[in-house]
Amino acid sequence: MVDLLRIVVVVAAAWALLALTALIVRARAWGRVEYFARAAAPPMAGVVYAFGAGMSPTAKESAREHLTTYLAGVAYHIGVFASLAYLVLLVAGVGIGGVVLLVLQLLTLLATICGATLLIRRVADRQLRRLSCPDDYVANLLTTGMVALACVATVSPRLQAPFLGESALLLLYMPLGKIKHCFFFFTTRYYLGAHFGRRGTFPPRA
């Protein structure tokens, strides 16, 4: 059963990669911006800032004013990446143990708590609830479910099959909903940094 699910995960991952790549190519097909003015600063300086200091609470008002939610989101995403790394190792048949296994368990446990907390907050907060759509709930449930199953699968190998199945569902859904931001985050952040870096506003001047 586990071997079959490994194949299903590989197929789902191939679908997700192809579909997400097609979406990015389609987004770029809208055309490139043609600049006529000379660059005020190196664009790559803006890209470095966008992926570095520009993501810190000191640079983002939305993060600074909601620091707890920001930190929960950071821990959640770290746990998601840890779960994906574990998924790759599991599909490849590579075992882990010792400190690495312990760190993985702690990261996925913390991410599960954060993901569930963020979901409860979305349901409980009237304003967030009004701004939410079904995709917000589906994305959270699939992602938090994968992280939670990753955590328990490292404790009990018998739960590797449910983890693989949940991961396959997540990969199949990824290009269809908001989870696609796992790809678009990097492209949009790059273009944001390059654009404002060229204008000399990223990084901000003192």
How far apart (Å, rounded) are the C-alpha atoms in residues 120 and 128? 11
Output the pLDDT for position 119.
95
What is the arithmetic mean of pLDDT over 189-200?
91
Output the pLDDT for position 143.
96
How far apart (Å, rounded) are the C-alpha atoms in residues 161 and 153? 8
Statement: residue 26 has pLDDT above 80: yes
Q: What is the pTM of this model?
A: 0.87
Three-class SS state of 93? coil
Q: Across the chain, what does the average pLDDT equal?
A: 91
**pLDDT per residue over 72-99, tens digit each?**
999 999 999 999 999 999 999 998 889 9
Statement: residue 206 has pLDDT above 70: no
Sequence-separated (6 or more) residues with CB below 8 Å from residue 13: 171
Output the pLDDT for position 1.
79
Statement: residue 149 has pLDDT above 70: yes
Output the pLDDT for position 62.
80
Cβ–Cβ < 8 Å for 78, 104: no
Question: Of the ranges 24-28, 101-105, 128-132, 148-152, which one carries the lowest mean pLDDT score?
Answer: 24-28
Q: How confident is the model at residue 137 (pLDDT cuts 50, 70, 90)?
A: very high
Output the pLDDT for position 6.
92
Q: Give Cα separations from 74 to 112, 156, 180 (angstroms).
A: 12, 27, 17
